[in-house]
Structure 1
Amino acid sequence: MIIVKNIEDIRGAIAGSCVTIGNFDGVHKGHQKLIELATSRAKAQGLVSVVVTFDPHPLQVLGKAAAPPFITLTEQKLELISQHGPQVCLLLEFTLEMARLSPEEFVRKYLVDGVHMQEMIIGYDYHLGKGRSGNFETLSELGAACGFAVDRLDPVTIDGAVVSSTRIRDLVQSGRVWAARPLLGRFYQVKGRVVHGMNRGGRLLGFPTANLKLVDELFPMPGVYAIWVEVPGEVRMGVANIGINPTFGNDALSVEAHILDYSGDLYGADIRVHFVQRIRDERKFSGLDELRARITKDVELGRQILSQPEAEIMLTRPAFEPGTTPGQPCRC
């Protein structure tokens, strides 16, 4: 997948495209179906498949309401989009100037003139342009005038409810990470760098932990979780605590991961944590012995959970080097 951040870098390089557009926070099952549909339609018609998305998220720029914590930040979002087959991702910087464009101005500048769009596929509730005035009906009228077709994907439902970023966010924030998996098509994951902590896990308790400085915004509610941990070169079982470590009187939120049967040095390494199932609430213990006994039980439970076939990890693998942009886009 080629990533393009400036429309001028690709203008004139594509003879015809099938485009889907959205913020794609989480790249959940609904987003995946939309991207895959655009990709398959493009292939059937001899067109280039193009995904258009934005950075930063429009809510961060418009400031009409406090932006929610995002499920996927840009790097991970691009990784996930790439796995569903599009040839080009147009990653546009969202600005106040862009927000003032009418649907017609935006479509003509970026999609018709920019990538010679022949077909546009949008989600059932997608709007674009100033005042969100570009809906399915107005875009269809614009398509008739500009020579492109518009199709709309029906809502994707799981367990009788529409798959949405809001629903996934609510599940994760309430600790129901297992229930979020079918909506995402994977376990909810965060990425962070291992930093020095208080050195209590291994020294005092016999359970060394990797303390994470997270770059993601959305965290499961405090508690203990069974997790998969991607460390350099392998994937290991683990148990994570999200919280303030009340037994030690802390007041700052931390994420600590104990990686089962692992003895490597991870300081400074970037690791990825996949949250599988919540084991219990965080609570204050009477002392080290009670805490150590509870952690021992947590590790046993975590190992049992992760040994079940339905807890098998579904890894994501980028199909490109994050941050790359095209040199000379090929003509299609």
Structure 2
Amino acid sequence: MDCLEPPPIFVRISLHSVHLITFPTYALALFSLIFIKTKIFAIYRFFLIWHVLDNLFFELYSSVMVEPAIHSPYLMMRTTGILSKLGVSGSIQFNLFSVALAYNGASISELFYFRYKASVSYKEHKFTHFIQVLVYTIRTFALLSLIFSLATMHETSRFQLAQKSDFLKLNPLVTIVNCDTVYLIVPFSDYVSSITSTLWLSQTSLLIILVPSTTLFVKFNLPTSISETTLKVQNQLLKSLVFQTIIHAIMLGIPNCMFIYAFFNGYKDETLAYIAFICLTYHGFASTLALIIFTKPLRNYILETLKLKKTSSIQVSMKVSN
């Protein structure tokens, strides 16, 4: 079998045709965040630029650079994208994918943390300490994931050779595992996979706690003694937060839970696995689109730039203290 044989046609179409929509959306969001002139985004917009760029990078890396193929019921990922064509091994690509996933999770936690600080009088609530612990821990896990992956690339390749040899003794007909582009997933079989798996599972668990708890707390603790204009801004932030929660629950949370299940119990349905990966790949696009739609100053700026709305002479100012 050709080690670079691409995944099924429906996967390729799903992964690449959507770029016709996603790339213009990212470009529009970045253009608007860079050039918008409003106090609302004095600090927040720089973080949003990072968040959008992170989403774009994750999408490109997953769908273009890696473009994985799977072989049920075996826990293995065969990479077929640009990196494989350039000779980069599957183990290195998988390591980098785990790092990209960790930093994407950190970006999401920062997004919700900033929305939390912008929506409530966070210095007055003990809940802030709880959120800070989660966010700082997720940051730490992302940093550790990067350092550990870079430090153990050689060890990962060595362990992979041994694991593939053991696999072939049990499955001699599955010769595709000999491809250098194949990464064999053997959970907790060595210290590298054990630490990598623990970091991923821990960060996923923290995000599952952080995202809904932040949204629920903001919903029931919006300040009441504020002006009508500020209240409208706060309600817009809450609406955006709710939709971000729904998007990340469906397109990030569910796929990660499916991967965790397969991690320990295996899987048989390739189609379902591919759908989960496609959702994971494009969750950043859905998040960026929601950002544009439900962040009124940004939405208005885009509409005015595209001449779809008259320029407003009234601007709402809001300062988020650090």
Report the TM range for the smaller structure's normalisation: under 0.3
TM-score normalised by length of structure 1: 0.21
Structure with the higher strand share, 1 or 2: 1
Structure with the higher helix share, 1 or 2: 2
